[in-house]
Amino acid sequence: MATPVLPPPPPAAVDTVVDYFNLPCPIPFEELHREAMMSLKPDLFEGMRFDFTKMLNQKFTLNHSVFMGPTEIPSQSTETIKIPTAHYEFGSTFIDHPRLLLWGRILTDGRLNARVKCDLSENLTFKANAQLTNEPHMSHGMFNFDYKGKDYRSQFQLGNGALLGASYIQSVTQHLSLGGEVFWAGQHRKSGVGYAARYNTDKMVATGQVASTGMVLLSYVQKVSEKVSLASEFMCNYLSRDVTASFGYDYILRQCRLRGKIDSNGCVAAFLEERLNMGLNFILSAELDHRKKDYKFGFGLTVGE
């Protein structure tokens, strides 16, 4: 009798056996906490803002934005000092999808932000970031080279002030990816290493990050349903001994997106984006800091997009 043909492994076994040569590409190292950030860190503001986006053609977009309201001034005392400000921002975006992105914003107080993202080849991406101000020593520039492999990503960073950094992230199994980073800031004479892990399935994302600066960051996001996700985050700085835990929800409904969070510093925040009409969004932002008695409310309107 001929040797029996090996039966195909049962489907359950297929699920458990990891095909180590066919792992998915992990997400970039700096976007490791992307889901938790999306739910827990909406761009809260205080005052009034108005954004207008005009698409001139398929590739070119103009952006006008007005902001009025108090802005906080960093100070040594515990009391926050706010001064009323108003500025206008003009911006333009050029997208030659998916190879090239040029992005620029200029403010009336003289600040300029610019970004370039360019695919040099199939796997290599070049990114540049610049923040220029008229104050001395406050301008920043940064160049990134990203290499995207089949199941890994690596990045090399070069910034002003002799900042050098490199990071690498690798998929270990279908759901788990591990990464590490090294950085050296020559101007401040600081260097460090960091490690990170991320476990994601289509229902949840859990991440953890440790760095030699003393920072420990753990986050967990649970997608309860298509519309609702709940996020929690634990951040602890081992050296400066401050610990923050926060919990937030993110509701994406048909007419609106609502994000709320509460954290252990006594800070409560909510951010509501309501779609009034096609291309007309109304934004409400609220933030209560019970401990500092600092209450921030803002509203805004976004036209276009």
Partner 1 sequence: MASQGRRGGVSLPDRPSNSSSVLAKISRSSIVVRGKEAAGDAAFVAKKLLRSTGKAAWIAGTTFLVLVVPLIVEMDREQQLNDLELQQASLLGTPAPK
60-73 and 176-185 beta bridge pairing: unpaired
89, 107 Cβ separation under 8 angstroms? yes
Residue 169 interacting with partner 1 (CB under 8 A): no
> Among 114, 130, 204, 256, which residue interacts with partner 1 (rule: CB under 8 A)?
256
State which of residues 28, 260, 298, 300 lies at the interface with partner 1 (CB under 8 A). 260
Interface pick for partner 1 out of 241, 254, 277, 278 (rule CB under 8 A): 254
Do 102 and 118 touch, CB atoms closer than 8 A? Answer: no
Listed residue (301, 220, 293) closest to 51, CA to CA: 301
Show the binding pattern over residues 262-301: x = contacts partner 1 (CB under 8 A), - = does not.
Answer: x---x-xxx-x-----------x-x-x-x-----------
**Minimum CB distance to partner 1 smaller for 128 or for 286:** 286
- DSSP state, 189? T
Per-residue CA distances from 211 to 29, 167, 214, 241 (Å)? 13, 12, 6, 14
Q: Does 38 bind partner 1 (CB under 8 A)?
A: no
Q: Which is nearer to partner 1, 117 or 259 (CB)?
A: 259
Task: For the CB of residue 295, give the shortest distance to partner 1 in the complex, in Å.
Answer: 9
Q: What's the maximum distance between 2 C-alpha atoms anywhere in the chain?
A: 91
Which of these segments, 98-106, 167-175, 231-239, 251-259, binds partner 1 (CB under 8 A)? Answer: 251-259
Taking the complex as a whole, how short is the minimal distance between the CB of residue 256 and partner 1, in angstroms? 5
209-239 b/e (C-beta count within 10 Å ≥ 16 → b): bbbeeebebbbbbebeeeeebebbbbbbeee
- For residue 65, the minimal CB distance to partner 1 (Å) is 24
Piece in contact with partner 1 (CB under 8 A), picked from 38-46, 73-81, 156-164, 247-255? 247-255
User: Length of the chain in residues, anyone?
Assistant: 305
User: Using the rule CB under 8 A, which residue among 120, 124, 224, 253 binds partner 1?
Assistant: 253
N-terminal to C-terminal alpha carbon distance within the chain: 71
Contact footprint for partner 1 (CB under 8 A) = 249, 251, 253-256, 258, 260, 262, 266, 268-270, 272, 284, 286, 288, 290
